[in-house]
Amino acid sequence: MKILGIDPALTITGYGLIDVRNSKLVLVEAGIISTSSKDLLTSRLDKIYRGIIKLITDTSPDVLVLEKIYAHYRHPTTSYILGQARGVICLAAATKNISLVEYAATRVKKAVVGKGLASKLQMQRMVAGLLDLKSIPKYTDVTDALGLAIAHSYIVRIKL
């Protein structure tokens, strides 16, 4: 099963594709889609959309996994902007007829690290270890995306 995890954001959207083969996690591809704050919002959203469409077309994942929005009452604008990025990613999944699954950040951390309130560093180290990476990815967005994919592989296994 190929699982594409996406950590959406307007500036840096991280993605990570893993393949689960005989209960082994194999990294297929990971990276970022970046946009410039100097560009118009519509251009930035279009770049994310087109990047996700290309990624889905090139890699043919079985499922796309996104993190549920957590909106902090002190930063409502952040959730609004994040919602726009998530919207074009959801549209890309629908356009390419890919199943979409969402998990809360605490559920992902619980599945991957064993603690729902695990730190970013704990997640990074666990993801790197589980995928036999020689180093931790440069962008936490990539690690978060890979964490989403790994968590889904564990959660699906538990439900079966």
Catalytic site positions: 7, 67, 141
Separation between Cα atoms, residue 23 and residue 11, nearest integer Å:
34
DSSP string, 49-91: HHHHHHHHHHH--SEEEEEPP---TT-HHHHHHHHHHHHHHHH
Task: Report how far residue 53's alpha carbon sits from residue 28's, in angstroms, rounded to the nearest whole number.
Answer: 17
- The residues facing 7 across adjacent strands are 14
Whether the CB-CB separation of 41 and 48 falls below 8 Å is answered with: no
